[in-house]
Copies of this chain bind each other. A is one copy, B any other.
Amino acid sequence: MDYSDLIKKLLAKDTRAAARLITIVENDITAAEKIINSIYSKTGNAFIVGVTGAPGTGKSTFISTLSKMLVQEGKKVGIICVDPSSPLTGGALLGDRIRMKENFSLENVFIRSMANRGQLGGLARATEDVIKILDAYGSDIIIIETVGVGQSEVDIFKSAHTVLVLMVPGYGDEIQTIKAGIMEITDIFVVNKMDLSGADRTVAELIQSIELHMSYKYDENINEDFAKIKQWVPEIVKVNSISGENFDILLNLMRKHRDFLEKTGIIQHYLKTRIKNETLQILNHKLKKKVNELMDLNQEQIDNYINQVIEKVLNPYSMADLLIKMLGID
């Protein structure tokens, strides 16, 4: 298929073309490849902000308020709500999305929900492609929202320049048990619902956690993908997303972090890591496709192997080795 007309419209900032292309890259990796090939040279301008937090921390309202403030600053905002969670809990979240969407009659905000269809690895890949479309579409800031900080979120956040983690007063106990994982990805902790009692205690607990663990993002020893330099200690700000209180402080902290990334050159390092990760995701998909083709073309042989596993002549590990040989590697 030819996507050149849609792409031309996208680059001319046509909202419908953006929406249409996003649907295409979500569902079809072959089409995604063609589309990204065409628009890649027009990408690289957007600043990417990741937002996460447990259910109930008020992410939708927070993002709604944050977006409005960014638009007031003259920014064009893209929002991607990614939900890698299960259908069992997914219903309510989708409801939030829809409610959030209704709040947005704003001219310069583009909002899109993505759910986990098909394979997990695929969601991070699709998110990367959607980011590129919103980037080429002219978004200055792209906000990626997820729930929690499991592996799929970490994969998705590999693309984010600044990561905000939302907390609410009264999550003290959990903070104590989870800090390692969270510290690793957080640039700014946002204590939302600051009007609730216990907000200051949550802030104090966060400060304590950070000090206690001497946890810095960009520590060389944490994790290859986030290994930068030990220079940024997670910032903390409490806000009220309904009244907008303290969002000025938050926006300043976000600017401070962006300056930090740019002045230290870490932002360039980010780009390299991101390209590497993205390429690996795509490679992984391409290899899976080749494996599927191999299995389709050699069904009889595969059935024969499976029967040998049932007879315990082979086992899944030795069968995998035989498939690798069939692929022509080794």
Contact = CB atoms under 8 A, between A and B. Distances in A.
B87 A320 contact: no
A291 B302 contact: no
A170 interface: no
Interface stretch (A6-14, A67-75, A189-197, A281-289): A281-289
A259 interface: no
Nearest to A92: B174
Contacts of A177: 90-91, 94
A328 B276 CA distance: 19
Contacts of A176: 91
B86 A150 contact: yes
A52 interface: yes
A147 B177 CA distance: 19
A180 interface: yes
Interface string A291-330: 1000000000010011001101001111111011001110
Contact of A282 (B44, B92, B282, B320): B320
A243 interface: no
Given A94-B177, A275-B309, A276-B306, A150 B116 contact: yes
A105 interface: no
Interface in A125-164: 128, 147-153
Interface in A21-77: 32-33, 36-37, 40-41, 44, 52-55
Contacts of A256: none
Copies assembled:
2
A32 B320 CA distance: 14
A290 B284 CA distance: 11
Contacts of A315: 36-37, 40
Contacts of A271: 310
B53 A275 contact: no
A173 B52 CA distance: 25
Contacts of A54: 88-89
A320 B280 CA distance: 7
A225 interface: no
Nearest to A308: B275
A159 to B, nearest CB: 11
Given A151-B120, A279-B320, A316-B36, A178 B286 contact: no
Contact of A180 (B87, B180, B279, B286): B87
A328 to B, nearest CB: 6
A108 interface: no
A306 to B, nearest CB: 5
B41 A319 contact: no
5 contacts: A86-B153, A87-B150, A88-B182, A272-B310, A284-B287
Given A54-B89, A86-B153, A284-B288, 5 more contacts: A37-B317, A53-B88, A87-B149, A119-B151, A275-B309
Q: What 3 pairs across the A-B complex have the smallest Cβ distances? A: A86-B148, A87-B181, A86-B150
